[in-house]
Amino acid sequence: MLHIVACIKQVPDTKIIKMNPKTNTMDRASAPAILNPYDAHAVEEAVRLKKKYGGTVSVLTMGPPPAVKAIKKCIELGADEGYMISDRAFAGADTLATSYALTKALEKIAKQRPIDLVICGKMTIDGDTGQVGPGIARRLNIPPLTGVKKVVEINKEKGYAIVHRKLEDGYEVVQSTLPCLFTVEKDINDISFAPLPNMIKAARYQPTIWTADDLEDVDRKQLGLKGSPTIVSKVWAPPKPEGGELLEGSTKEKVEQLLSLVLAKKELFQ
Amino acid sequence: MTFDDYRGIWVYLEVKDGNIAPVSLELLGAGRQLADKRKTELAGVLIGSGVKPLAQTAFTYGADVVYVYDDPIFAYYRTEPYMRALLDCCEKHKPEVLLYGATPTGKDLASAIATDLPTGLTADTTILDIEEDTGLLLASRPAFGGNIMATILCKKYRPQMATVRPKVMKALPPDPSRTGKLVEEHIELREEEMRTKVLEIVRETTKKARIDEADIIVAGGKGMGSKEGFQLIHQLAEVLGGAVGASRDVVEAGWIDHHHQVGQTGVTVTPKIYFAIGISGAIQHVVGMQNSELIIAINKDPNAPIFQSCHYGIVGDAFEIVPLLIERFKEEIPKLKAAADVKEEIRHA
Ligand SMILES: Cc1cc2nc3c(=O)[nH]c(=O)nc-3n(C[C@H](O)[C@H](O)[C@H](O)COP(=O)(O)OP(=O)(O)OC[C@H]3O[C@@H](n4cnc5c(N)ncnc54)[C@H](O)[C@@H]3O)c2cc1C
Ligand SMILES: Cc1cc2nc3c(=O)[nH]c(=O)nc-3n(C[C@H](O)[C@H](O)[C@H](O)COP(=O)(O)OP(=O)(O)OC[C@H]3O[C@@H](n4cnc5c(N)ncnc54)[C@H](O)[C@@H]3O)c2cc1C
Chain-chain contact of A173 with B202 (C-beta, under 8 angstroms): yes
**pLDDT per residue as tens, chain B (349 positions):** 688 899 999 999 999 989 999 999 999 999 999 999 999 999 999 999 999 999 999 999 999 999 999 999 999 999 999 999 999 999 999 999 999 999 999 999 999 999 999 999 999 999 999 999 999 999 999 888 777 889 999 999 999 999 999 888 999 999 999 999 999 999 999 999 999 999 999 987 654 457 888 899 999 999 999 999 999 999 999 999 999 999 999 999 999 998 899 998 888 888 999 999 999 999 999 989 988 889 999 999 999 999 999 999 999 999 999 999 999 999 999 888 887 777 666 666 5
Amino acid at B52: K
Ligand 2 atom index nearest CA of B319: 41
Domain definitions of chain B by residue range: 3-193, 216-348
Entry pTM: 0.84
CATH fold label, B3-193: Rossmann fold (3.40.50)
pLDDT at position A240 is 63
CB A8 within 8 A of CB A43: yes
- A77 CB-contact burial (10 Å; exposed 0-12 / middle 13-18 / buried 19+): buried
Chain-chain contact of B104 with A167 (C-beta, under 8 angstroms): yes
Alpha-carbon span A44 to A163, nearest angstrom: 16
On whether residue A242 sits in a domain, the answer given is no
Note the CATH architecture for domain B216-348. Answer: 3-Layer(aba) Sandwich (3.40)
Q: Which candidate from B112, B151, B302 shows the least CB-CB separation from A134?
A: B112
pLDDT at position A144 is 98
Hey, of A258, A263, A265, A267, which one would you mutate to test binding to chain B, going by the most B CBs within 10 A of its CB? A258
Residue A99 CA to ligand 1 centre (angstroms): 9
Task: Name the residue of A62, A90, A124 to mutate for ligand 1: max ligand atoms within 8 A of Cβ.
Answer: A124
Residue owning the nearest CA to atom 15 of ligand 2: B248
pLDDT at position B204 is 76
For residue A263, list chain B residues with Cβ-Cβ distance below 8 A.
332-333, 336
CB A26 within 8 A of CB A17: yes
Chain-chain contact of A138 with B258 (C-beta, under 8 angstroms): no
The CA–CA distances, whole Å, from B270 to A270, B129, B257 equal 20, 23, 20
Please state the three-class secondary structure of B276-292 as a single string: EECCCCCHHHHCCCCCC
What residues line ligand 2, using a CB cutoff of 6 Å? A 14-15, 125; B 145, 221-223, 247-250, 261-266, 278-280, 282, 284-285, 288, 298-301, 304, 317-319
DSSP bridge partners of A184 = A121, A148
CB A70 within 8 A of CB A10: yes
CB B250 within 8 A of CB B230: yes
Nearest CA in chain B to A31: B144
Question: Per the annotation, does B244 bind a ligand?
Answer: no
Note down the domain range covering A64: 2-227
Asked whether A136 lines ligand 1 (CB < 6 A), one says no
On whether residue A215 sits in a domain, the answer given is yes
Name every residue whose Cβ is closer than 8 Å to that of residue B245 and which is 6 or more positions away in sequence.
B211, B217, B218, B219, B220, B260, B261, B262, B269, B274, B289
Chain-chain contact of A240 with B203 (C-beta, under 8 angstroms): no
pLDDT at position A269 is 86
pLDDT tens digit sequence for A79-122: 999 999 999 999 999 999 999 999 999 999 999 999 999 999 99
Hey, of A23, A128, A153, A155, which one would you mutate to test binding to chain B, going by the most B CBs within 10 A of its CB? A128
pLDDT at position B211 is 85
On whether residue A261 sits in a domain, the answer given is no
DSSP assignment of B174-205: P-TT---EEEEE-----GGG-SEEEEEEEE--
Alpha-carbon span B154 to B114, nearest angstrom: 12
Name every residue whose Cβ is closer than 8 Å to that of residue B338 and which is 6 or more positions away in sequence.
none
CATH of the domain at A10: 3.40.50.620
Nearest CA in chain B to A270: B337
Interface check for A228 against chain B (CB to CB < 8 A): the answer is: yes
pLDDT tens digit sequence for A26-62: 676 777 899 999 999 999 999 999 999 999 999 999 9
Question: Per the annotation, does B278 bind a ligand?
Answer: yes
Alpha-carbon span B139 to B164, nearest angstrom: 9
pLDDT band of residue A265 (cuts 50, 70, 90) is confident
pLDDT at position B336 is 85
Residue owning the nearest CA to atom 52 of ligand 2: A15
Residue A96 CA to ligand 1 centre (angstroms): 9
On whether residue A206 sits in a domain, the answer given is yes
pLDDT tens digit sequence for A113-152: 999 999 999 999 989 999 999 999 999 999 999 999 999 9
Task: Name the residue of B115, B152, B156 to mutate for ligand 1: max ligand atoms within 8 A of Cβ.
Answer: B152
Q: Could you give the number of structural domains in chain A?
A: 1
Q: Using CA atoms of A188, A189, A190, A191 in order, give the dihedral in degrees to the nearest 10.
A: -110
Alpha-carbon span B245 to B261, nearest angstrom: 6
**Surface of A (120-179) touching B: CB under 8 A:** 125-131, 133-135, 137-139, 143-147, 162, 166-177
Nearest CA in chain A to B248: A186
On whether residue A7 sits in a domain, the answer given is yes
Residue owning the nearest CA to atom 14 of ligand 1: A94
Alpha-carbon span B181 to B201, nearest angstrom: 34
Residue B108 CA to ligand 2 centre (angstroms): 29
Asked whether A120 lines ligand 1 (CB < 6 A), one says yes
Question: What percent of chain A lies above the pLDDT cut of 90?
Answer: 81
pLDDT at position B207 is 45
CB B242 within 8 A of CB B217: yes
Alpha-carbon span A205 to A76, nearest angstrom: 10
The Cα of B119 is separated from the nearest Cα of chain A by a number of Å equal to 6
Asked whether A86 lines ligand 1 (CB < 6 A), one says no
pLDDT at position A25 is 65
